[in-house]
């Protein structure tokens, strides 16, 4: 009888342990991002067609240029792993991180609502100013001038540009598109009077289109952008990303990589707004 009771007690204890383990959130039982990268030998970043951040070569179908690609490749090289790119949109990047489809999303703005779902390093990746590419005859020197029922403006859905324009242009006809490219295409086709993005992508668009006025409306809105990673208990990957982008920013490497892309794209870096905040005040 005593042996039977002991066996029964052991069996009940085993069931209790199993029940406890099953109650632990799945994320706590999964391998951390740091361990997963070391195990697979691959770093996965999200990309979306948005020069100068990410650009796919139409001839090869490869994502081979852009500051986000350069940052990702340097991260992978430093970690001693391969880089894998996964196509997302600005609006789906957070979900891609949460579902473990990507490990990092470069050039994603650290907004408070996003920080509830993903983690951001404490240091910024770079700084950018919101701009518009508009028809030549459109008054666009101030946000107040654009706040009119007669103005239609395109933005990428779910982006920081969408948030700012929606809050500050309540009278305008705001049309939302899946990504930067679709928003720019709407402007190019004449469906809207203007497109609002942060300044660097519009530099590339203005260069390609050859028409339109590129303006940073006043009051100017500048914002830091960063690299989003998954929220998890293991902070090694987050801390490593924080240290890496701090080093690249402070040593001027990030600004240098950006200038390299502008030059390759046929733009003069000296005539383009910088992405290092300290240099903004020196110009």
Per residue in 16-39, pLDDT tens?
444 443 333 444 447 999 999 999
Enumerate residues 6+ apart whose C-beta is below 8 A from 41: 81, 82
Q: Are 43 and 35 in contact (CB under 8 A)?
A: no
The CATH architecture annotation of domain 31-127+224-275 reads: 3-Layer(aba) Sandwich (3.40)
Partners of 198 in the β-ladder: 130
Alpha carbon distance 1, 202 (integer Å): 81
Question: What pLDDT does residue 206 have?
Answer: 87
Q: Are 154 and 192 in contact (CB under 8 A)?
A: yes
Domain boundaries, the chain: 31-127+224-275, 128-222
pTM for this model (two decimals):
0.73
Number of helices (H) and strands (E) in the chain: give both, helices first.
Answer: 12, 11
- CATH class, domain 128-222, is alpha beta
Question: What pLDDT does residue 18 have?
Answer: 42
Ordered per-residue pLDDT tens for the chain, 283 residues: 444 434 444 444 443 444 443 333 444 447 999 999 999 999 999 999 888 899 898 899 999 889 999 999 999 999 999 999 999 998 899 999 999 999 999 999 998 999 999 999 999 999 988 999 999 999 999 999 999 999 999 999 988 899 999 999 999 999 999 988 899 999 999 999 999 998 888 888 888 898 899 898 999 888 899 999 999 999 999 999 999 999 999 999 999 999 988 888 777 887 777 888 776 555 4
* CA-CA-CA-CA dihedral for 78, 109, 266, 283, to nearest 10: -100
* Count of CA atoms in the C-beta half-sphere (13 A) of 149: 0
Query: Do the domains spanning 31-127+224-275 and 128-222 agree at the CATH topology level?
Result: yes
């Amino acid at each position: 009888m005593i042996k039977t009771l002991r066996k029964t007690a052991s069996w009940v204890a085993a069931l209790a342990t199993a029940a406890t383990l099953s109650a632990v959130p799945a994320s706590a039982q999964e391998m951390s991002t740091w361990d997963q990268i070391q195990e697979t030998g691959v770093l996965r970043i999200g990309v979306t067609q948005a020069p100068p951040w990410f650009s796919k070569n139409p001839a090869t179908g490869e994502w081979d240029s852009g500051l986000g690609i350069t940052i990702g490749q340097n991260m992978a090289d430093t970690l001693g792993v391969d880089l894998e790119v996964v196509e997302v949109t600005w609006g789906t990047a957070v979900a891609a991180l949460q579902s473990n489809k990507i490990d990092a999303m470069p050039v994603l703005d650290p907004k408070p609502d996003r920080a509830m779902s993903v983690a951001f390093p404490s240091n910024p990746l770079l700084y950018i100013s919101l701009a518009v590419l508009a028809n030549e005859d459109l008054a666009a020197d101030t946000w107040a001038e654009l706040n009119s029922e007669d103005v239609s403006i395109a933005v990428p859905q779910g982006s920081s540009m969408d948030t700012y324009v929606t809050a500050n242009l309540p009278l305008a006809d705001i049309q939302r598109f899946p990504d930067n490219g679709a928003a720019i295409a709407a402007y190019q086709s004449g469906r809207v009077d203007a497109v609002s993005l942060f300044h660097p992508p519009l530099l590339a668009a203005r260069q390609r289109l050859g028409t339109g006025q590129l303006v940073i409306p006043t009051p100017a809105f500048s914002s830091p952008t960063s690299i989003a990673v998954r929220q998890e208990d293991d902070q090694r990957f987050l801390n490593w990303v924080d240290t890496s982008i701090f080093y690249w920013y402070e040593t001027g490497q990030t600004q240098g990589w950006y200038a390299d892309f502008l030059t390759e794209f046929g733009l003069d870096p000296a005539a383009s707004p910088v992405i290092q905040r300290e240099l903004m005040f020196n110009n």
